[in-house]
Structure 1
Amino acid sequence: MTTVDSEIDGIDVVADDAATRLLAAYQAGSSFFFSGPHGVLLGCGVAATVPKTQCARTGLPGRVADFLRSAEEFGRRNPVVVGAVPFDENLPAHLVMPEEVVRSAPLNVVVSRAPQTSVPDCGVRPVPAPAEYERGVSRVLRRLDDGELGKVVLARSLEVTTAAPVDVRAVLRNLAFADPASYTFAVDLPRRGEDGTRDSFGPQPPLERTFLGASPELLVSRRGMRVRAHPMAGSRPRSADPVEDRCRAAELSTSDKDRREHAAVVDAVAEALRPFCRDLHVPARPEVISTAAMWHLATEITGELRDPATSSLELADALHPTPAVCGTPVRRAREVIAETEPFDRGYYAGLVGWSDAAGDGEWVVAIRCADIENDLLRLFAGAGIVAGSDPAEELAETTAKFRTALSAMGLDRVV
């Protein structure tokens, strides 16, 4: 354990040296950062972008595999693609092959004082307004009563306009330090209105838009023949009072409504993975885990692949979207989300991660996140609406979930 140098200073930290240096080396516009319980990956520069024509959702894993094989023909040794896949199945993914990939052991930090405010002056616009979000929840509940749906995940957004461009590095650093056990990520994206792709290998100009967050939820990972998923559904906000905090965790563990919601997600994930696995272990009961802002019901599912040719991206594509971010049945829930939410989710509730030419990789559900472009931030948070949901409680849940990103920017009191 060593003390971090001033390059990443601003808060007092004791940290693992290698992982923290990778965090310090991240540069918005020319890097990809991905940190989780199993290690840190930093992608530096862009050797090539997977062409937009190859990034449509239908058939994406096969085309990415072809792209990686062509990279090997260019002399790349076990090339890696990194990036994000949007929630909307009609929008293309954004995937690149970095010039260099550097890895380390997991980030291990102890923070001795809180992050400083990164965004001092701003205007905030909720989309939709809180009262309209509650009305949307009520409309969804009526449709649940009609029996056409089992669950719908309804999200809302905050549009934050700042007086100066956001310090993306500072926000990423604060997210990583606040909860090192979560999956902290930062992905360069094309600017709005641009496709950001090229059809050839070689240097490419930096992008000026970043999608970043600290997701608690692993969608799927593949390491050799081993597969792991960690679905989450059912949550409670943390409390600063230790007694109340423990009571909330206990309440979540026994909540019938949350257990039913969680079971639907676990069943869907297991059903999607079984065709790919010769062996699949699904625990009978969820565990209660915590992040800095929330308690969650979570179940760790593990398995062994039938076919070594099945890539992590193929598994992720089969799973996405889970009922944890969409609902059940998926097709109908998608339609209700499009009819009810007055904004485009973009990459929120999509996927962020990496996959290599050997098929190994790791993909997380893109939640607790923000889309940052210069002086405009769009933050997102959702809640699972099932029979028995209360509109005011679902609004409060989204407010609690916003705090992860807002705290990293010194804006946790705006909602």
Structure 2
Amino acid sequence: MMERHIVTESLAVQLLKEYRTGASFFFSSPERTILAEGVFAAVPEAEGLNQMENLTQRADAVLRQAKQAGQKRPIVVGAVPFDETKPVQLTVPDEVWHAGPLTFDQDEPKQPECATFGYDIQPVPAPEEYMNGVKQGLAGIAAGDFSKIVLSRSLHLTSPIKIDIGDLLNSLARHNSRGYTFAVDVSERAGGESETVRRTLIGASPELLVSRSGFRVSANPLAGSRPRSHDPHEDQRRAAELLASAKDRHEHAVVVEAVASALRPFCRTLDVPSEPSLITTETMWHLSTEIKGELTDLSISSLELAAALHPTPAVCGTPTDLARAAIKKIEPFERGFFTGMVGWCDSEGDGEWVVTIRCAEAEERALRLYAGAGIVAGSKPEDELAETSAKFRTMLRAMGMNSE
């Protein structure tokens, strides 16, 4: 039986230390820290090809089973992939600990051991191929196939020693204290336990897809970005340029309207600011809009809201179906859980779901990092390449690789 432990904020860091690769789910936000262990039951696959179909109902059924087994307020945790035909990785854990937000002292985390030995790095696709893909996306926009497409690339890193996922998670949390840090077991168990491919989805997303607390709903779409600079004057110049950019503001407005349109059917009221603001991470500036609403009905869960939003134009494009089809043709790899969603939803419907960006899928001695950029009319391939390079720095810095 799961016991729901409530601990003080001062012990949030202890939950981070208690994370165990392959055995735990970890999620931290500006509101709380969650550590979950064990698997009471997994949310089953859908019978048809579309794994998003009836997702909320399948999760609710598992939560009811957990309640019948004695759990007072069970919780679903895990990740949903970008591709709707791929299985979700959602479970009701055996045991969950909750704390307030993470707070750290000023001590710098030690450099991950792998950084000392170095990684072999392979970009997929190569930079030139990525820019060619952007040109294909621009051709599709010019032809009227879609108005925006998000194209991504990956870095495949191989380590000479076993990667310590716990150390990497700790470093990510310390370097991204204002965002959402997560680690989810996404191992593939095809053919039996002996053939399991152990894999962890790990990252520090700046983007809240949606949260629900009682009747209150929040979403924080991001679109439009600039890399940070170590020079304070240049950093502020880039921020001001982003806020004034007609191209980026249009790209941002498209995403905000899509998120608002998806939320309106569920909400009695919805507050959508008319102007974006700026938020910052260690590596990026982003245009940001905080959308807040009030639900019409408490039966609408955070998972139902998240499923209605996924994927937003911030990670896919507009129109969604046409952009997603083009992505599958242009990108030379499967996105997996990148640009999907990760988070939690309890049996009362409360929860938090974030967009799975600034992330990697980690195996014993390998990491696959992902980064994408939104392509609209007027985009330049070399600028989009530079943007993805800047977005890689969230993971690379946490790994002790402080390249510009």
TM-score, length-scaled by structure 2? 0.94
User: Which of 336, 352, 358 is 2:348 aligned to?
Assistant: 358
Provide the rounded CA distance (Å) in 2 between the counterparts of 1:311 and 1:228: 13
Instruction: Identify if the C-alpha distance between structure 1 residues 185 and 195 changes in structure 2 by more than 3 Å, giving closer, same or farther.
Output: farther
Report whether the alignment pairs 1:349 with 2:339.
Answer: yes
Deviations 1:233-284 (A, max 9, x none): 0000000111111111111100011000000000000000000001000000
SS of 1:63's equivalent in the other structure is helix
Provide the rounded CA distance (Å) in 1 between the counterparts of 2:231 and 2:176: 19
Report whether the alignment pairs 1:328 with 2:291.
Answer: no
Question: In angstroms, what is the RMSD of aligned CA positions?
Answer: 1.9
Shift of 1:162: 1.0
Report whether the alignment pairs 1:152 with 2:127.
Answer: no
Provide the rounded CA distance (Å) in 2 between the counterparts of 1:132 and 1:160: 19
User: Which of 287, 291, 297 is 1:307 aligned to?
Assistant: 297
Stretch deviating more after TM superposition (212-221 or 145-154) = 145-154
**Aligned twin of 1:38:** 31
Shift of 1:117: 3.5
Stretch deviating more after TM superposition (337-346 or 36-45) = 36-45
**Aligned twin of 2:179:** 182
**Aligned twin of 1:291:** 281
Shift of 1:193: 4.5
User: Which of 111, 118, 124 is 2:106 aligned to?
Assistant: 111
**Aligned twin of 1:72:** 67
Instruction: Identify if the C-alpha distance between structure 1 residues 158 and 143 changes in structure 2 by more than 3 Å, giving closer, same or farther.
Output: same
SS of 1:157's equivalent in the other structure is strand
Deviations 1:291-341 (A, max 9, x none): 011000000000000111001000000000000000000000001100000
SS of 2:373's equivalent in the other structure is strand
Provide the rounded CA distance (Å) in 2 between the counterparts of 1:207 and 1:333: 31
Q: Is the 8 A contact 1:118 1:171 kept in 2?
A: no
Q: Is the 8 A contact 1:52 1:94 kept in 2?
A: no
The unaligned stretches of length 5 or more in structure 1 are 1-15, 197-204
**Aligned twin of 1:93:** 88
Provide the rounded CA distance (Å) in 1 between the counterparts of 2:143 and 2:45: 40
Tell me which amino acid in the other structure corresponds to 1:368: R
TM-score, length-scaled by structure 1? 0.91
Report whether the alignment pairs 1:239 with 2:229.
Answer: yes
Provide the rounded CA distance (Å) in 2 between the counterparts of 1:176 and 1:139: 37
**Aligned twin of 1:28:** 21
Shift of 1:112: 3.5
Shift of 1:207: 7.7
**Aligned twin of 1:161:** 158
**Aligned twin of 1:50:** 43
User: Which of 44, 58, 66 is 1:63 aligned to?
Assistant: 58
**Aligned twin of 1:219:** 209
Shift of 1:77: 1.0
Q: Is the 8 A contact 1:44 1:98 kept in 2?
A: yes
Q: Is the 8 A contact 2:46 2:53 kept in 1?
A: no
Instruction: Identify if the C-alpha distance between structure 1 residues 94 and 308 changes in structure 2 by more than 3 Å, giving closer, same or farther.
Output: same
User: Which of 17, 25, 28 is 2:10 aligned to?
Assistant: 17
Shift of 1:179: 1.3
Deviations 1:72-113 (A, max 9, x none): 111111110100000001001011111111111111224333
Shift of 1:114: 5.6
Q: Is the 8 A contact 1:214 1:369 kept in 2?
A: yes
The unaligned stretches of length 5 or more in structure 2 are 1-8
Shift of 1:121: 2.7
Tell me which amino acid in the other structure corresponds to 2:125: P
SS of 1:76's equivalent in the other structure is coil
Shift of 1:194: 5.9
Residue identity (%): 53
Stretch deviating more after TM superposition (236-245 or 70-79) = 70-79
Q: Is the 8 A contact 2:46 2:54 kept in 1?
A: no
Deviations 1:11-68 (A, max 9, x none): xxxxx63111111111111110000111111112222222335792111011111111
Q: Is the 8 A contact 1:118 1:408 kept in 2?
A: no
Provide the rounded CA distance (Å) in 2 between the counterparts of 1:300 and 1:194: 44
Q: Is the 8 A contact 1:282 1:300 kept in 2?
A: yes
Instruction: Identify if the C-alpha distance between structure 1 residues 275 and 53 changes in structure 2 by more than 3 Å, giving closer, same or farther.
Output: closer
Stretch deviating more after TM superposition (312-321 or 69-78) = 69-78
**Aligned twin of 1:209:** 199
SS of 2:113's equivalent in the other structure is coil
Tell me which amino acid in the other structure corresponds to 1:303: G
Tell me which amino acid in the other structure corresponds to 2:163: V
Aligned length in residues: 392
Tell me which amino acid in the other structure corresponds to 2:13: T
Provide the rounded CA distance (Å) in 2 between the counterparts of 1:358 and 1:343: 38
**Aligned twin of 1:337:** 327
Shift of 1:349: 0.2
Stretch deviating more after TM superposition (382-391 or 187-196) = 187-196
User: Which of 249, 255, 268 is 1:265 aligned to?
Assistant: 255
Provide the rounded CA distance (Å) in 2 between the counterparts of 1:112 and 1:244: 27
Provide the rounded CA distance (Å) in 1 between the counterparts of 2:58 and 2:80: 14
Shift of 1:189: 1.1
Report whether the alignment pairs 1:130 with 2:123.
Answer: no
Report whether the alignment pairs 1:274 with 2:271.
Answer: no
